[in-house]
Structure 1
Amino acid sequence: MTEEHNIAIAGLGRIGTLFLEQVLESDCGLNVVCVLEVKDTPGRQLAEEKGIKVVDLDGLIQIGVGVDVVFDMTGSGSFRSKMQNKYEESFNSYTAIASPAIARLVWSFLSDEYLPSIHSSKHQAMVDSMLEQARAGILK
């Protein structure tokens, strides 16, 4: 018997949609409780078709420990920080936030196919991180 794990997926762009599709196709014990996506993407449409709740960040936080793991597929360090802060403010130390690297690890157990990176390379991820730090005033 497979243990069920309740998950949420934040960000249903190109990569988040592929991840959602793979989880839905797999009998892997991952139950998608909700997704977070503000735009009308194919991933959001798929979630709605499957009856999966589409929530905003506050809606996710309200679910509380009903979500074991949030897979952050947004590619946004600022969103990840905001989500982490909201969880801390709600005293939820149970729900884990998994990075795209962890999602790739999970993907490797679910599929033989290649999951493209949110960033085209580690170097692009580093540049994106530096740009976000500059926008936040951390780097000058």
Structure 2
Amino acid sequence: MKTDRLVMKACFLSIALILTVSLSNYASAQTARKNADRIEDRFDRREDRRDRRENVRDRREDKRDTKEDIRDRREDRKDKREDLRDAQYDGGLKDRLEDVRDRKEDVRDRREDKRDTKEDIRDRREDKWDRKENRRDRREDRWDRRH
């Protein structure tokens, strides 16, 4: 009986040991799985952040204009302005521009006509002196007649 009891105890202890080892293996396996899941989640979050940063960076780069893009847009605007100017020029603006040019030329001609040449100035001075001399002569004549 004693041996049966010892055998039963040994069996019980071995079963308990097996269960304990199994449970601890199960627990450690669970812990290992949890840790692996946490590590995987952490890695996934890092990748997600990295991807978001790259996406933001890509969008910013897409928004940035290269020098060529800026130059192309400027040329396009310049071409549009020239096309608009040509269309307006053909559609009646031409006549108005010619009228403005003619008026400007008329004003310029009148101003030139008003300008005095050196000869005109000299002639006026001579006329002025002549008038002064004539006045003086008339005064003298009047004086002579009175006296």
Structure having the higher helix fraction is: 2
TM-score after normalising by structure 1:
0.18
Higher relative contact order (CA 8 A, sep 6+): 1
Structure having the higher strand fraction is: 1
Q: Which has the larger radius of gyration?
A: 2
TM-score after normalising by structure 2:
0.17
